[in-house]
Structure 1
Amino acid sequence: MAGISTQTVHDIFQNMEYGSSSTSFATAQSWLEKHSRTLGFFADGTFSCPAERQMYNVTDSKAEVICSIVCAKDQDVASVVSSASAGFKTWSELSCYQRARVLRRSAGVLQRHSQCVSELCELSQSPTSPAALIRLAQYYTSWAQLRDTLMPVWTPQGIVAVVVSDDCSVYSLLLKVLPALAMGNAVIVVPGRSTSLPALLLAQLFMEAGIPAGVLNVVTGSEASLGVQVAQNPHVNYLTYSGCKETGEDLAKAAAGCGLPMTYSFSTSSVCPFIIFESADLDSAVDGAMELAFRKKKDCQWVLYVQESVCDSVVARLRLRMAAMKCVPHASDADRKLIDTAVQGAQQQGAALIQSCPPPPAGGLYPPTVLCGLAPSCDTVISPPPGPVLPLISFRSSAEGVTVGNHSIHGQAASIWTEDLTLALESAKSLSVGSVWVNCHSVMDPALPLCGRKESGNCTDGGREGLYQFLRPSLTPTLPRSTHTSINYDEFGSAASKFLIPEGFDPSSVPRFYSQLVGGQLRKADSDCTRSVLGPEGTVLAHCPDGGRKDVRNAVEAAIKVQPGWMKKSPATRSQSLYSLADILEKKRQDIAASIQTQTGISLEEAEKEVELSISRLSDWAARCDKEQGGIPFLPQSGSALSTPEALGVVGVILPSSKPILSLVSLLGAAVAMGNAVVMVPSEKYPLPALEFIQVLQDSALPGGLVSIITGDRDKLTHALANHSVIQSIWYWGSIEGCQFLQYSCACPLKHLWLHCECEDEEKGGRDWTSSNPSHQEELWRRAVVWKCVWVPTA
């Protein structure tokens, strides 16, 4: 019979050739023809193709043009934002049930048109399973229904901008769009080229499901420049980015100073460890490694770590399985140059090469390649090239395997292979990554949070935890919008300190000299300089150290020695330490209250109330230490998964002037209760209460070095905290210029930022520290943790 292959199953497995594709893409082609193969942006529920606009072409895997797309201009962005403003008003006024009903219909529409969605994603070189997208829509439908019930004191951000790069998947795009819609926001999508067509189709399908006009908008063009234009619009309330690190950094620096909260997920640029222990099923582990490393399109780069005792066996299995494999396509000629450079450099450093066949001299194909015998410091390990290249490193003990797995500056995910469950769970706990797959890889479900560590991101997507980036506490003021100002970032915080020479010196009243707390010890500033502390009437009350970069470095060095041990202590132990701190503050309440009165000029009665509330707040955090434990969500697939909150690491806190002791203990309690170490910078205006609090810390059971308090120029110390690579998060109360500097500087190295503008001529930073609203404590707790999910298959 014509068309029947004479190949046997054995032959197919031997040559491992790709089968012929039977996909005609007829449905997707029909949709494109309906739009004359020219698409504009989607706003106010319709497609718009303004005249006199530049166009860019979308090509398929054969480099053939399948469609042209309009590049939006400034006026187009303004029109889209205006549409989103009207859409948000309509969408936010609906009840949770009404929004959930629309999203439920969206899941049905996705299911009906899944063929077109699948074909269009494939044509755009961004293949995605429609079933995964349908599962996303169904999952967030339920959260739309339950928002007011389970999160009653939270309100939507408003207009949310979702920006993705060219190499971002459609799944990652909807993982941000759907929860934003479910929480009642309007969304403006700025897609990359590979996701432009699927994003436009999905916007049209959501309109068919009944989403009001203007609620979901898609604006096309260069994602970096368009993202900046959207961020600079004063009506946009929040921006989240997903994709490659280079584009994200450019966006962060260009949009700094807009007064817009921004978060980033650099998943596509991450380097992830694939660890094979000697107790693993080697055949399954090798199959998993090859499936990840040699696929056509990878979500991230992988490095293979193999325990020394089984390294030869793993290499032998790789040689056997790779022997008949064909070349794998890669993206571009530029990728080919990177691959050739990396392979040649690895060979020059002594790496052994395993390839299925010699590489072709040029073109878009390259054979699956394993580079054996590399050192962890090799450039190919630190930054593997794109394409089917897998670096391999051996390690001796299980502890060393975890250590080399944490060697990367990234922390997106890890895959570990072992039949020893105890080893699996201990290794998963010790790896500094957001997701750990045990004896599997790339398992995803929207019920589990995706939270990158280190340079892989500073936001949480997925699960209930991922909803909070699209919400804010109802009573918390937002960061005021501003315009980008010209700042010399290199010279920020470098101005000379202003020293005050008091007039009318009274020899009977000599000002006290305070010390700062660094590494658990009372110390002078490294510069030996001091600064005068003025009272309400302008008199000199005391002198405090004028700390700087070296003091911050000493504090962080002490913190990283003690923080891992503090984090590993049981929550009950941390709880008792905080209760002890509250008890000591109770004993010294009169001294602290007197310091507040002297410094701020308020009445003694009001100062005593602040101290009383501070004692209560510390007790709240002590009680909460062992109450936040994550969970085990129910999943549609076989297996189990754990979701747990973990400490950020070292947190830098620039304190507000308002309520100097209450704000200090509220922020300190949140960070320390969750296992973090803290470097705190008191208000320049009111540093004395914090300096008096040092005695409370020294008498407490907290380990020395866990909390450091450094006084001095706020901008100078902010600069030092921002440029320290170990500090994972900065909570800032200060100037608009300081907020802009942090947004610009903390894109590399990436940090979690929580920014608040505090006017120089006002005591209030905008937050009511005396409020007992539960959303305030919930917000503080969520700022103090990152999430880890561990997948354990059972079948």
Structure 2
Amino acid sequence: MAGTSAKTVHDIFQNMEYGPSSTSTATAQSWLEKHSRILGFFIDGKFSSPADRQTQDVTDSKAAVVCSTVCAKDEDVASAASSAAGGFKTWSGWSGYQRAKVLLKLASVLQRHSQCVSELCEVSQSSTSPAVLVRLAQYYASWAQLRDTLMPEWIPHGIVAVVVSDDCSVYFLLLKVLPALAMGNAVIVVPGKTTALPALLLAQLFMEAGIPAGVLNVVTGSEASVGAKVAQNPQVNYLTYSGRQQSGEALAKAVAGWGVPMSFSLSLSSVCPFIIFDSADFDSAVDGVIELAFKKKRDFQWVLCVQESVLDSVVARLKLRMTGMKCVPLATETDRNLIDAAVQEAQQQGATLIQLCPPGTGALYPPTVLCGLAPSCESVISPPPGPVLPLISFRSSAEGVTLGSHSPHGQAASIWTEDLTLALESAKSLCVGSVWVNCHSVMDPALPLCGRRESGNCTDGGREGLYQFLRLSHSPSLARSSPSSINYADFGSAASRFTIPEGFDPSSVPRFYSQLVGGQLRKADSGCSRSVLAPGGTVLAHCPDGGRKDVRNAVEAAIKVQPGWMKKSPAARSQSLYSLADSLEKKRRDLAASIQTQTGISLEKAEKEVELSVSRLSDWAARCDKEQGGTPFLPQSGSALSSPEALGVLGVILPNSKPLLSLVSLLGAAIAMGNAVVMVPSEKYPLPALEFIQVLQASDIPGGLVSIITGGRDHLTQALANHSVIQSIWYWGSKEGCQFLQYSCASPLKHLWLHCEEEEEREAGQNWTSSNPSLQEELWRKAVVWKSIWIPTA
């Protein structure tokens, strides 16, 4: 047609431009108008908007105000908690079939209102495909149906607080909310600014699907302060957070000591490697880089790693694809200053700037690649916000994997190669939770998302992600109470108490024990020792008074031996544990006598504890090669693998009850899964653990894999908490110790399993003699993290 400006298919193919997108938001605007563009809370199944509350504006991508949300006060939080308590009583009483029907109906409701959901997400700068949300609802509906059958020993926490940061997507919000509801919990959502509007709409759609009033409540405001208020409410039983590290750290410190278990998914702060090997399809890889690096909103921060032999080819293709690209809007104008400073610093350090679009003004910035950076450059460690992509090179495949694991985060990685062997070897070696082969950012609820190190301490998605919203019916939980007044800087610094025996009996000189550090018997680095008392108060023995230096030596030894132990075949680890059980069997009389002397129980009961300990070690030896991952069925084309992996180095502060049986139960779980462990025996009953050192030395467990350090519990807890290599702490101790760990282990982030022993002693505590398989399953799940690998076939 004459005069037409329409482009031909050939023109579009040559330019590789994206087609126009629909910008109409009429449906969303109509919904906002119905609420007078002022949205309050969703409590007890209905909207409420108190008139005397502060408000905060929600803006669109052009910084125009689209509506306002109300900021919650203490009475609003109390109202939401009271409503959730009533909703939980109803919801938890329903059968799995009834809960599944509601979630399945939610999927159809989401499909019916997909236009409004999509537009509202777009308006609030939290774009999410409604089809993805429908898939989430359908997936967790099936788990609601199966919970009672497949997980009969597990019960819901009660009321779960789900807090997300400002720029967290609706997908990650529902990845917390839906499994919590499917497992029978009631939920209070504290959304960030960008997810507030979709969260309120979704709450309304839940009611349309038939969920009882009070089961899902939404309170808006500053997610950090309102989230802390919600978690501090005595009716709330669990807190889970998704978002940025800074907000998560502040939230953890605000809630420490309130007796609320917490989990964190910090994907938005994570720096992830995009690795291109020389065997990759460069055109596909570069197209993937363009898709994820230069869009306005990203779930992760990316660093491009390119093998040196193909660096010039990849850079040339990047320049070609970046030609004609427009400036990208920034989230805020303050991001512009951060980007300018980072780019200037990188250039001063020798980086080459690739920027093929004229610099914009204000909150606009051109797609930018920073080439030739060193791995230690600040722009690589912490990339600036906006469309800026750091690029580093590597020589060998092994070096590429090392660079990919260099970040303190470990959320995800994308690797590009046509060599399947290299792909699988690299995916297994990378210290990240998710690996995408020849693709990126593929999400499905059937695959677990499990961050490493600073990227989080919980698992979302898959069956594995359900357990954060459940607890064993017979397992004690933290008691709700107000925080103690603790000087965190001085915790554990009190001097040890020494006991000077009255009189002297030459026929019963107390024995001096050594601790096990790095596979060797050693005295405490300080040279000090502690007196071990019998039930009657007499001095039985002296043990080392360990401290920070002893912990450091133990961890240094563990770092050297743990990778080799983890790479051993499960069958080889199983044989080592059987060897340990045999050594324990040979020393059963000495250990039984030690237990009887230390605790004052009868010899018969002490022998029974040793017998159970041998059996427990044999159980863990048998489980070594039985626990494995799987290949989830996924709606997309391709194959996926999901497998458990070792956490790394664990710190374990042992309980007073059953001093030998509890030790071998926790030790067996840790090393069976490939971890190394630093154990602190009961301060009250350390002798059975010190006698057990001889058992360890007589077995073929590698030296340094297990260290046993005696001393003050608080002092050693503080040393373990402050060591950056320790990935997880299992703690039995005081309420103050639990509070200290929740406060201190937010940065660097650690996996925590906390038990207040004073409370457990009043409530019978952990039944270590139980042979219930669910107890071993809980221990096993505490000892592993999950890795997902996605391999597309088309």
Q: Deviations over 1:54-83 (max 9, x none)?
A: 011111111111111111100110000000
* SS of structure 1 residue aligned to 2:69: strand
Q: Deviations over 1:561-589 (max 9, x none)?
A: 00000000000000011011111101100
* SS of structure 2 residue aligned to 1:658: coil
Residue 642 of structure 1 pairs with residue 629 of structure 2: no
Distance 2:476 2:759 in 1: 17
Residue 262 of structure 1 pairs with residue 262 of structure 2: yes
Whether the aligned pair in 1 keeps the contact of 2:479 and 2:759 (CA below 8 Å) is: no
The residue that corresponds to 1:478 in the other structure is 477
Residue 205 of structure 1 pairs with residue 205 of structure 2: yes
Q: Deviations over 1:362-393 (max 9, x none)?
A: 31111110110000000000000011111111
The residue that corresponds to 1:183 in the other structure is 183
Distance 1:245 1:514 in 2: 43
The residue that corresponds to 2:781 in the other structure is 782
Distance 2:750 2:406 in 1: 18
Measure how far apart 1:321 and its partner are: 1.3
The residue that corresponds to 2:445 in the other structure is 446
The aligned amino acid for 1:432 is C
The residue that corresponds to 2:150 in the other structure is 150
Q: Deviations over 1:390-417 (max 9, x none)?
A: 1111100000000011110000000000
Change (3 A) 1:764 1:30: closer
Measure how far apart 1:19 and its partner are: 5.5
* SS of structure 2 residue aligned to 1:508: helix
Residue 292 of structure 1 pairs with residue 284 of structure 2: no
* SS of structure 2 residue aligned to 1:652: strand
Residue 50 of structure 1 pairs with residue 53 of structure 2: no
Measure how far apart 1:4 and its partner are: 6.2
Measure how far apart 1:548 and its partner are: 0.1
Alignment of 1:533-612 (within 5 A): 533-612=532-611
TM-score (norm 2): 0.99
Change (3 A) 1:254 1:448: same
The residue that corresponds to 2:673 in the other structure is 674
Measure how far apart 1:8 and its partner are: 3.9
Q: Deviations over 1:306-339 (max 9, x none)?
A: 0110011111111111122111111111111111
Q: Deviations over 1:507-529 (max 9, x none)?
A: 22100000000000000000000
Distance 1:765 1:273 in 2: 48
Measure how far apart 1:52 and its partner are: 0.6
The residue that corresponds to 1:424 in the other structure is 423
Distance 1:721 1:763 in 2: 27
Identity of aligned residues (%): 83
Unpaired runs of at least 5, structure 1: none
Residue 709 of structure 1 pairs with residue 708 of structure 2: yes
Measure how far apart 1:357 and its partner are: 1.7
* SS of structure 1 residue aligned to 2:66: strand
The alignment covers a number of residue pairs equal to 794
Distance 1:264 1:224 in 2: 13
The aligned amino acid for 1:772 is S
Change (3 A) 1:780 1:261: same
Whether the aligned pair in 1 keeps the contact of 2:476 and 2:760 (CA below 8 Å) is: no
Whether the aligned pair in 1 keeps the contact of 2:163 and 2:240 (CA below 8 Å) is: yes
The residue that corresponds to 1:758 in the other structure is 757
The residue that corresponds to 1:653 in the other structure is 652
Measure how far apart 1:707 and its partner are: 0.3
Distance 2:15 2:343 in 1: 25
Whether the aligned pair in 1 keeps the contact of 2:573 and 2:624 (CA below 8 Å) is: yes
The residue that corresponds to 2:237 in the other structure is 237
Unpaired runs of at least 5, structure 2: none
Change (3 A) 1:668 1:4: farther
Backbone CA RMSD of aligned residues: 1.4
Whether the aligned pair in 2 keeps the contact of 1:657 and 1:763 (CA below 8 Å) is: no
Whether the aligned pair in 1 keeps the contact of 2:37 and 2:66 (CA below 8 Å) is: yes
Measure how far apart 1:21 and its partner are: 4.5
The residue that corresponds to 1:316 in the other structure is 316
Change (3 A) 1:218 1:4: farther
Whether the aligned pair in 2 keeps the contact of 1:658 and 1:763 (CA below 8 Å) is: no
The residue that corresponds to 2:110 in the other structure is 110
Measure how far apart 1:496 and its partner are: 1.0
The aligned amino acid for 1:549 is R
| Range with bigger deviation, 322-331 or 89-98 | 322-331
Distance 1:331 1:20 in 2: 22
Whether the aligned pair in 2 keeps the contact of 1:294 and 1:328 (CA below 8 Å) is: yes
Change (3 A) 1:298 1:611: same
Distance 2:95 2:515 in 1: 53
The aligned amino acid for 1:374 is L
Whether the aligned pair in 1 keeps the contact of 2:760 and 2:766 (CA below 8 Å) is: no
Measure how far apart 1:761 and its partner are: 11
* SS of structure 2 residue aligned to 1:669: helix
* SS of structure 1 residue aligned to 2:200: helix
Q: Deviations over 1:75-127 (max 9, x none)?
A: 11000000000000000101111111111111111111111100000000000
The residue that corresponds to 2:192 in the other structure is 192
* SS of structure 1 residue aligned to 2:174: helix
Q: Deviations over 1:190-243 (max 9, x none)?
A: 000000000000000000110000001101000000111011111101000000
The aligned amino acid for 1:489 is Y
| Range with bigger deviation, 725-734 or 495-504 | 495-504
The aligned amino acid for 2:771 is S
The residue that corresponds to 1:492 in the other structure is 491
Measure how far apart 1:358 and its partner are: 2.8
Distance 1:6 1:209 in 2: 45
* SS of structure 1 residue aligned to 2:490: coil
Whether the aligned pair in 2 keeps the contact of 1:758 and 1:764 (CA below 8 Å) is: no
Change (3 A) 1:324 1:792: same
* SS of structure 1 residue aligned to 2:507: coil
The residue that corresponds to 1:248 in the other structure is 248
* SS of structure 1 residue aligned to 2:414: strand
Distance 1:760 1:194 in 2: 41
The residue that corresponds to 1:28 in the other structure is 28
Measure how far apart 1:359 and its partner are: 1.2
Distance 1:393 1:659 in 2: 53
Q: Deviations over 1:23-60 (max 9, x none)?
A: 32111111111111111110100001112100111111
Change (3 A) 1:764 1:79: closer
Distance 2:713 2:5 in 1: 75
Change (3 A) 1:166 1:763: closer
The aligned amino acid for 1:395 is F
